[in-house]
């Protein structure tokens, strides 16, 4: 995790831990620069990250203020740091269905920018939020970036493990959404009738260097999954 990302994380944790209300004024740029003993540009980059994430807003000449999501239980489509980061006030549990080392087919290879047949880790999980089935997730990680995964790791936040164990700097993602009907296997997995609606998400997550390290296919339970976007006027 880069320094600015660590600072952004700590500021966001401070907001959550102290349950700061919408509009609460945060410390100034100069104060944050002194506290973290970094350059103004590093703090500015951390604040820009938080603003894009919808955690703060900045008013020139007035200061930095908390921007809070007004509804509980909604997942931000702009946060790339996983389910646990999206639902900090909820209990997230992973039922690991499969972890295996395999090879990339053409689809996986194209999305991860690797050769077909290159080694990858395949992880299949059923994700619960507060003991309700949220989604079925199938993810692929190239071995050249992620040397090792197992069931114990997959039972927790994989992104957190990669950031701490391999010092991977997760930066951005491409997200694709389609609404379709569940097939029999998906319906059985999510305890829904056949042909129920499902929100299908494909996501490619990139390192700060621009290298893709995670290609995921996720199908969400239409009764339990809720999403939001926070926008700014540029």
Written as one string, the DSSP assignment of 139-181 is: EEEETTT-----HHHHTS-HHHHHHHHS---EEEEEEEEEEEE
In this prediction, residue 229 carries a pLDDT of: 77
Pair 53, 76: CB distance under 8 Å:
yes
Residues in the chain: 234
CATH class of 75-228: alpha beta
Between CA 221 and CA 20 the distance in angstroms is 31
Pair 186, 113: CB distance under 8 Å:
no
Pair 193, 200: CB distance under 8 Å:
no
Under CATH, which number does the domain 3-66 receive?
Answer: 1.10.10.10
Domain boundaries, the chain: 3-66, 75-228
Digitized pLDDT (tens) for each residue of the chain, 234 residues in all = 678 888 998 998 888 778 888 899 999 999 999 999 999 999 999 999 898 878 899 998 899 999 876 677 788 776 666 665 566 667 899 999 999 999 999 999 999 999 999 999 999 999 999 999 999 999 999 999 999 999 999 999 999 899 899 888 888 889 999 999 999 999 999 999 999 999 999 999 999 889 999 999 999 999 999 888 777 665
């Amino acid at each position: 995790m880069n320094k600015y990302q660590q600072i952004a994380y700590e500021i966001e944790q401070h907001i959550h831990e102290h349950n700061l209300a919408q509009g609460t004024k945060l410390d100034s740029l100069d104060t944050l620069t002194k506290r973290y003993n970094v350059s103004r540009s590093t703090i500015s980059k951390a604040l820009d990250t938080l603003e894009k994430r919808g955690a703060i807003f900045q008013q020139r000449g007035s200061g930095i203020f908390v921007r809070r999501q007004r509804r509980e239980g909604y997942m931000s489509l702009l946060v790339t740091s996983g389910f646990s980061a999206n639902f900090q006030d909820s209990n997230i549990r992973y039922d690991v269905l499969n972890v295996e080392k395999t090879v990339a087919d053409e689809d996986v290879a194209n999305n991860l920018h690797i050769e077909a047949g290159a080694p990858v880790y395949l992880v299949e999980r059923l994700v619960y939020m507060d003991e309700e089935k949220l989604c079925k997730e199938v993810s692929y990680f190239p071995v050249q970036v992620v040397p090792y995964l197992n069931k114990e790791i997959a039972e927790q936040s994989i992104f957190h493990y990669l950031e701490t164990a391999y010092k991977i700097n997760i930066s951005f993602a491409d997200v694709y959404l389609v609404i379709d009907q569940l097939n029999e296997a998906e319906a059985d997995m999510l305890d829904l009738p056949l042909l129920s609606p499902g929100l299908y998400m494909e996501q490619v997550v990139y390192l700060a260097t621009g290298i893709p390290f995670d290609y995921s296919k996720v199908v969400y339970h239409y009764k339990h999954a809720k999403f939001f976007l926070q926008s700014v006027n540029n």
